[in-house]
Amino acid sequence: MSTASPRHRAPADLRAVMAPVRDQGRRGTCLAFSVTAAHEVARGGSPPDDLSVEALYWGCKRTDGNWKAGTTFRSGATSLGRWGQPLEQVWPYDAKRETGVMYSPPERAGGSGWFRSGLRQIGAAPADVRSHLDAGTPVMLGLTVFDTLFRPDPAGHIADPAAGAIARGRHAVLAVGHQTGALLIRNSWGTTWALDGYAWIGDGYIGAHAGEAWTVDATASTGSKAAGGAHAEGPEGATYGAR
């Protein structure tokens, strides 16, 4: 049995239990990629299941009631709880799908082989995120985007935006590890971004510009508004979909 205190615990890093980083292309589907990667880890397995991002995003847009780019974590929670996700091979992601055009699943949504779960909102402060990462749970983050996010330095570090920097929209990523003063995030812009698709983002950036934080939690409500951070029906909250 380890006698190490929490202060001396080795930094968390969940990359080894994750599927390869993928690329969302030009579509505003970052939130669906973030939720999918977290759901894959929550389901366990080595290697993890390769779940359908397309199915989750379709469910989000059905919940939103529109087919514009981007969606909310509340819609992601509804989609994951109502329909779930099949394997990627059942409904492959289409990086070139036209935005704004309604589309339908290739089979009955939510049927056999569609895996459901819940989402739960947690505190977005770096300390809250670290506590979940130390327990082996990745954390979805909704970030305000600045130019520094597009251009991490060669060591994979994202600089804090300068005072007065112009926001470029909102983007969802997945926190999968931490070290002193920074969180390790997984993006959905392919493996040519930063460190094979991962980068370090400082606590200052998170503290000032992380609007929401969520985890996959099978015990969270999947059908109605609930206390304690469980999701609610309907397209509530900020929309994430910057690219």
What's the confidence (pLDDT) of residue 45? Answer: 86
Each residue of 109-163: pLDDT tens digit? 999 999 999 999 999 999 999 999 999 999 999 999 999 999 999 999 999 999 9
Domains observed in the chain? 22-216 (3.90.70.10)
**Tell me: the pLDDT tens digits for 135-144?**
999 999 999 9
Residue 237: which pLDDT band, with cuts at 50, 70 and 90? confident
Q: How confident is the model at residue 231 (pLDDT cuts 50, 70, 90)?
A: very low
Output the pLDDT for position 226: 32
- Note the pLDDT tens digit of each residue in 13-46: 999 999 999 999 999 999 999 999 999 999 998 8
- Per-residue pLDDT at 228 exceeds 70: no
- Residue 3: band (very low, low, confident or very high) from pLDDT cuts 50, 70, 90: very low
Residue by residue, what is the 3-state secondary structure of the chain? CCCCCHHHCCCCECHHHCCCCCECCCCCCHHHHHHHHHHHHHHCCCCCCCECHHHHHHHHHHHHCCCCCCECHHHHHHHHHHCCECECCCCCCCCCCCCCCCCCCCCCCCCCCCECCCEEEECCCHHHHHHHHHCCCCEEEEEECCHHHHCCCCCCEECCCCCCCCCCCEEEEEEEEEECCEEEEECCECCCCCECCEEEEEHHHHHHHEEEEEEECCCCCCCCCCCCCECCCCCCCCCECCC
